[in-house]
Chain A
Amino acid sequence: MSRETVIGLEVHVQLLTRSKMFCGCSSAFGDPPNTNVCPVCLGLPGALPVANEQAVRLAVRAAYALGCAVHARSVFARKNYFYPDLPKGYQISQFEEPLATRGRLEITSPDRGLLTVGVTRLHLEEDAGKSFHDRVPGMTAVDLNRSGVPLIEIVSEPDLRSPAEARAYLVALKQVLKYLEVSDCNMEEGSLRVDANLSIRRPGDPLGTRTEVKNMNSFSGVERALTFERDRQVAAVERGEAIVQRTMLFDGAKGEVRPMRSKEESHDYRYFPEPDLPPLVLSEAWLRTEREALPELPAAKRDRFVKSYGVPEYDAGVLSGTRELAEYFESVVAVGVEAKDAANWIMNDVLALHPDDVQRALPPAALAAVIGLVRKGTVNRQAARKVLEALDTRAADAAVSADDALRLATELGLIQVQDTSRIDTWVRETLAAHPGEVGRYRAGEMKLMGFFVGQVMKRSGGTADPKAVNAALRSALVGTAAS
């Protein structure tokens, strides 16, 4: 019997600000514990919050990028609960009047192709501190450096239909947020955290009872946890059991999901408007400026690459993967390289050297010069790769220019040899060294041509023009046969 999986995600993302959401402490990751703290983020008696303008700006950018309605007026609210790493006993968040609502994100689902996922709301809030349960025996230890770091919470509609789709949503969301420089979305450092709601139903039925899955530490962990939870729910329903609404924790080591130890009393956060902060009111002009300053987003960029450069859809998707890679591609094209060449070289050669950080690769002009050497026949494709690698190595600690390409090719002896007398010599020597193969070739084993070409190239140290070698070999072999 077919069952449909219904998934909605709640994603918390740390904003790339220098200071915290409501105080002037550094929001840096990795400093010694409890050193980035002050009266405000320690929750000392009498301290008051003051909101960070840059956090508001980044949240608004994210909201616009997700196509949300950004509200000119939103209200901070207190979410009250006790936890040792929550200094004030409440978290400042937004509740009844969030910053933004009704957005959408286009994703590429492995099952359903291109599709649009609804974004219910996006709001600003502060982070809690970090609890360690393994540092001091029998104790929980608390570091408040993270307390008060700015976050946005992005809640999706229950529009996702498989764990793989949930992962695709996260990939697309991360791509957009990194493009915007809103967050570095680093799950290991906790700057992106995911909670999921999952239920199953027969297609067309109303939503089933959902469980919440937490404690997933990577995108693949999300997929594994949700697969486990979906299978668990399907098995339970098939046994005739009802699904209980509860929170489930993912155990990454065991690859399983199990119910969180239930608490004696249910949660009641007693939200109310934060009296320490008047409503956040953003002017039309300010909002317009932010909206207009949005960079081109990945989906738009991909479409443009296809349309204006004529690169294949797949290549356009890869090249628009990060803002840096897209910029690199366009810079290479801008210095006169044909788009398809640029795409091929970047995807085959540059990304092989720098899969994660194209900013550390050789400058676009230098890459263009290398490509130019091949076009002009100065070096062959194989030699060009060596030149590129050498230039790239050099670029790591010194500035390299377009001229360096030719100089390096010369220094390395990679300049293509088209001088027929030298090529004829290598051909003669090669044929003399392999009389057996020559005999077999002449007996009709034509595929040995490849072997002869390889041997000649080897003798030339890779510098011979393969075309010229081919021609010389052919005439030499034919010529001898005729005699």
Chain B
Amino acid sequence: MSVTRDDIRKIAALAELAVDEAAAEELERQLSRILDYVAQLAEVPPDAEPVEDGRVLRLRHDDIAPDPLLSEPKDFAPAFKQGLFLVPRLGELDRGEDAP
């Protein structure tokens, strides 16, 4: 098995997915099989020269022109009050290390 139960636990936490024990066992097996299968890519020798697709970013003028919403946040949000989206309480700054 190239993927361990601990790996499954870690990536499930990163992906914020609930995975129960039975599912974890199956995932361990399936992901291992898939990763063993894709491991054959390692045999492709490093490139001589990289292939450039030549596409470059088109930029937008700094105009205020949003695509208008057909419905508003209050209509589609699961919980919304005083103009704000609501979620269960979270500790302040419990976020990424160098998030903005």
Contact = CB atoms under 8 A, between A and B. Distances in A.
Interface of A: 10, 12, 17-19, 23-26, 32-40, 42, 47, 50-56, 79, 81-84, 86, 91, 125-128, 131-133, 135-136, 138-144, 151, 153, 193, 195, 212, 214-215, 247, 249, 260-261, 263-265, 267-270, 277-281
Contacts of A131: 90, 92
B93 interface: yes
B67 A24 contact: yes
A399 B73 CA distance: 48
27 contacts: A10-B98, A24-B67, A25-B64, A34-B83, A38-B68, A52-B59, A52-B62, A53-B59, A79-B96, A83-B99, A126-B100, A128-B100, A133-B89, A133-B90, A136-B81, A136-B86, A139-B79, A139-B87, A141-B86, A142-B84, A142-B87, A153-B100, A268-B14, A279-B56, A279-B57, A280-B56, A281-B56
Contacts of A141: 81-82, 84-86
Contact of B93 (A91, A139, A215): A215
Contacts of A195: 98
A69 B69 CA distance: 41
6 smallest A-B Cβ distances: which pairs? A54-B62, A38-B66, A53-B59, A141-B84, A24-B65, A281-B56
B99 A91 contact: yes
Contacts of B86: 136, 139-142
A460 B15 CA distance: 84
A268 B96 CA distance: 9
Contact of B85 (A53, A55, A144): A144
B16 interface: yes
Contacts of B34: none
A139 B57 CA distance: 40
B69 A37 contact: yes
A34 B85 contact: yes
B10 interface: yes
A91 B97 CA distance: 13
Nearest to A145: B83
B13 interface: yes
Contacts of A38: 66-69
B63 interface: yes
Contacts of A17: 62
A22 to B, nearest CB: 8
Contacts of B73: 34, 37, 42
Contacts of B98: 10, 195, 212
Contacts of A18: 62-64
Interface of B: 10, 13-14, 16, 55-69, 73, 79, 81-100
B100 A127 contact: yes
A212 B85 contact: no
A56 B60 contact: no
Contact of B95 (A19, A53, A83, A153): A83
Contacts of B59: 51-53, 56
A82 B16 contact: yes
B100 A151 contact: yes
Residue from B16, B73, B81, B95 with most neighbouring chain A CB atoms (10 Å): B95
A138 B97 contact: no
Given A79-B96, A140-B89, A249-B93, 6 more contacts: A34-B84, A39-B69, A126-B100, A139-B79, A139-B88, A279-B55
A124 to B, nearest CB: 11
A247 B92 CA distance: 13
A281 B57 contact: yes
Given A136-B86, A142-B85, A270-B14, A261 B91 contact: yes
Contacts of B96: 79, 81, 83, 267, 269
Contacts of A143: 83-85
B35 to A, nearest CB: 16
Contacts of B82: 33, 135-136, 141
Residue from A17, A25, A34, A280 with most neighbouring chain B CB atoms (10 Å): A34
A56 B60 CA distance: 10
Nearest to A12: B100
Contacts of B85: 34, 84, 141-144
A138 B65 contact: no
A428 B88 CA distance: 86
B67 A277 contact: no
Contact of B66 (A10, A23, A280): A23
Nearest to B53: A278
Contact of A247 (B58, B90, B91, B97): B97
Contact of A81 (B60, B88, B93, B99): B99
